Structure 1
């Protein structure tokens, strides 16, 4: 008889609840951004990352790395955001192969207009259902998982 990879029924239930919670939280945020702003969560994150970067610009490779996004998917999203006038590409001044993604003024204005609703959606989906201690524990667990996978190069 083959041994189950789950150490216990409780571990299996925890995994199933984690998967369900992750899916439902992401769906709630995605729905909010689509309905309120016509963008995806991934597009919002691109705008937010650029807004927080020095000069509101990042090299495309660096942006792909912090988003854990393949270059082709990032290029597709940057093209869409550029078409809306919120992002533009700029050539690196000394590296002919290097490109920057740059948040435009219109993109920053759009992001800042959408951000309060985004924060509310995150609050409603993740923060409100938890006590302060539970949210702190979620932060500790999430950080531990994140660091584990970064260390493994995932």
Structure 2
């Protein structure tokens, strides 16, 4: 790597770490959940009927099944999700966002989006933010294609 590339890489890593810390801090303080747990809730809300098969959810989140099971159990204990058996596949399980989970997201998201705004959007103008999105998606697609998303 050149010095310029190394500088860019370290800047990316440092920014990513601080953004994650800010979001994690906000979610723990104001919502009592971790960032990965929030991502589960977010994905379930976006899914048809607020439900996803556990395997599909794990693949979407790039999360090992055991870690996802632990988080789903915790979120179920909070009343935010529930597990449901697949109607025809005895081994298949769904994770389902509850009404309480929907209400929880509606309560938490204004502060979450504020933390994103303060941590990222305030540092960039609109053109830079669009470029950040373009580059992030390009990296994501490259990694997904080269390592199967694992």
Choose the corresponding residue for 1:136, options 98, 105, 130.
130
1:54 matched to 2:48? The reply is yes
1:81 matched to 2:75? The reply is yes
SS of the residue 1:128 aligns to: helix
In 2, Cα distance between equivalents of 1:125 and 1:40 = 17
In 1, Cα distance between equivalents of 2:79 and 2:6 = 46
TM-score, normalised with respect to structure 2: 0.97
Choose the corresponding residue for 1:26, options 7, 17, 20.
20
1:128 shift after superposition: 1.1
1:147 shift after superposition: 0.4
Larger radius of gyration: 1
1:107 shift after superposition: 1.0
In 2, Cα distance between equivalents of 1:58 and 1:138 = 29
1:38 matched to 2:28? The reply is no
SS of the residue 1:97 aligns to: coil
1:126 shift after superposition: 1.1
1:30 shift after superposition: 0.5
TM-score, normalised with respect to structure 1: 0.94
1:48-82 deviations in Å (ceiling 9; x for gaps)? 11111111000000000010000000000000000
| Count of paired positions | 148
Q: Which aligned runs of 4 or more in structure 1 are off by greater than 4 angstroms?
A: none
In 2, Cα distance between equivalents of 1:131 and 1:29 = 21
In 1, Cα distance between equivalents of 2:106 and 2:43 = 13
Aligned counterpart, 1:125: 119
Aligned counterpart, 2:66: 72
SS of the residue 2:123 aligns to: coil
1:148 matched to 2:146? The reply is no
Gaps of 5+ in 2: none
Q: CA RMSD in A?
A: 0.7
Aligned counterpart, 2:104: 110
